[in-house]
Amino acid sequence: MNKAITKAAVFGMAALMLAGCMPTAHKVDVLYNPLAVYRGGSGQITLVTEVAHQEQRASSPSIRWVLGQITDSDGAVRGDVISDYPPQSVIADAMKRELSAAGYRVDQTATRQDRQGRVVVLTAVTVALNEVASLAKLQASCNLVVKVELWNDGQVIKRSEYHSKLSDMAIKDRDVLPQQLFQGALAEIMQQAVPDIIRQFN
């Protein structure tokens, strides 16, 4: 009986320790390092991002963007995975870097103009970066979806949707795992999108 009580007390203390140590927010900011392996681009491209994101960012510079949730091993929500930057701007920055490295001159704007030549429009970005934390390990997953429209001289020439889904676990260096997954998913999206853009515009 005493052993059972002792075990229950130990598990109770462990649960309290986990709840006390569980972060209520984990900030993840990605500084994308371009792969710069794509070639064949030339001339001008306009990259258009969503106006609403830029306006909201400008009106409230202290805003935090929720990318996903932190849960414990029982599924209870303990906090949010957040970023200082909207996912749309992160994707736009990565795409601008890759297209520039491929040989294009990239002009980034908030709206598309009629008869604008070659235009890449980021129509939607969805990211779910979630963490499951326990005393023994951290499990994390990143699901990234990017929708793109390609325009040429005022006409849509292609609509595409690119997907990346990664997951992993860590016992040490837990804080860096979600960022690594986000970076990996972003690189996978670029590997799909950039060669596709080059093929359509050449």
Residue 30 makes CB contacts below 8 A (sequence gap 6+) with: 83, 90, 179, 182, 183, 186
What distances in angstroms separate CA 196 from CA 71, 76, 92, 140, 189, one per listed residue? 37, 41, 16, 29, 11
- What pLDDT score does 26 carry? 86
* Amino acid, res. 99: L
Q: pTM of the entire structure? A: 0.81
User: What is the 3 state secondary structure string of 130-167?
Assistant: EEEECCCCEEEEEEEEEEEEEEECCEEEEEEEEEEEEE
What does pLDDT average to over the chain? Answer: 83
C-alpha 141/C-alpha 68 separation (Å) is: 10
Q: What is the pLDDT of residue 50?
A: 64
- Domain spans, the chain: 24-201
CATH topology of domain 24-201: Rossmann fold (3.40.50)
Residue 50's closest CA among 109, 130, 128, 131?
109
* Residue 58, pLDDT above cutoff 70: no
The pLDDT value recorded for residue 188 is 96
* Residue-wise pLDDT tens digits, 169-186: 998 888 889 999 999 999
